[in-house]
Amino acid sequence: MIRFVRATVDGVAQVGRIDGDAVAFFEHDDPLAAIRGEGTVTSSVPLAGLALLPPVEAPEIWCAGVTYERSRDARLEEAQTDARDVYALVYDADRPELFMKDASMRRTVGPGGSIRVRSDSSWMVPEPELGLVFGENGEPVAVTIGNDVSSRDIEGANPLYIPQAKIFAGACAIGPALAVPDDWDAPFPIRLRITDESGAELFAGETSTAHMKRSLRELAGWAMRDNPIPPGSVLLTGTGLVPPDDYTLEPGHTVEIEVEGIGVLVNTVAA
């Protein structure tokens, strides 16, 4: 399921279901309703040439941290204080790390949008993640791709700086589509590729949600516990892909995150 605008329908957002090279679109702009099978498919248009929007206007975006062993190790490596032990502790604990990344899409862009870096950080990285989309009853109803752009030097200076390391203008991207898994327990391969302005590859890697310490539904249950997260909100489930320590995001770099069955989320770093 995608959200898009067409040049022939000035500025009007629509929801559509991808069918090969075409998109069958609904008469409404509610991706959750479309997932529930509500509404009438009015027509179809070629997928090529559509301007894609974020697949859902998420009221809130949440993140789970240190859900992969690779992420735990990276946090331990970057930590500059004795507080580094908190990362090992949360990885092994029953309760996961959860934090709010954004609200009302103020800091989040969609496919083709510009992500950004903090002006006071010298070590910025993308974090490719599988995103869970919550429905009316608080259960996950779809998945998407997310990029939890982060400052490793700010978080490494002190874990209490995590809101500043994670929450800033252009700090998140979601898209390009919503997909409803046939099997929620099946692993999702996740691929990351970063290129510079000339197209030269700076980093490429692959992981899988099979390497997560906690299941998707477990993370969703913790996020919703005593916490009224609105429908349409997204929970990013952590990253298992970390570029080498000598890499930092810079203006002009392009980040591509691919998850089979969802598509490729492409964003360029803005100045």
pTM for the complete prediction? 0.93
Which pLDDT score, from 0 to 100, does residue 69 have? 82
List of domains in the chain: 2-53 (no CATH), 60-269 (3.90.850.10)
CB 130 within 8 A of CB 143: yes
For residues 71-87, b (16+ Cβ closer than 10 Å) or e, as one string? Answer: bbebbbebbeeeeeebb
Mean pLDDT of 64-88: 73
- The dihedral of CA 255, 234, 76, 162: what is its sign? positive
Q: Which of 79-83, 117-121, 208-212 has the lowest mean pLDDT?
A: 79-83
Confidence of residue 176 (pLDDT cuts 50, 70, 90): very high
Per-residue pLDDT, 80: 63
Q: What percent of the chain has pLDDT over 70?
A: 93
According to the model, what pLDDT value does residue 26 have?
92
**What pLDDT, on the 0 to 100 scale, is given for residue 27?**
84
Alpha carbon of 258 to those of 57, 160, 162, 167: distances in Å? 21, 31, 26, 23
Residue 112 has pLDDT above 70, yes or no: yes
Greatest distance between any 2 Cα atoms in the chain: 60
Which pLDDT belongs to residue 71? 65
The confidence band for 42, taking pLDDT boundaries of 50, 70 and 90, is confident
For residue range 205-245, what is the model confidence (pLDDT) as tens digits?
999 999 999 999 999 999 999 999 999 999 999 999 989 99
pLDDT at position 266 is 98
Give the per-residue pLDDT at 6.
Answer: 82
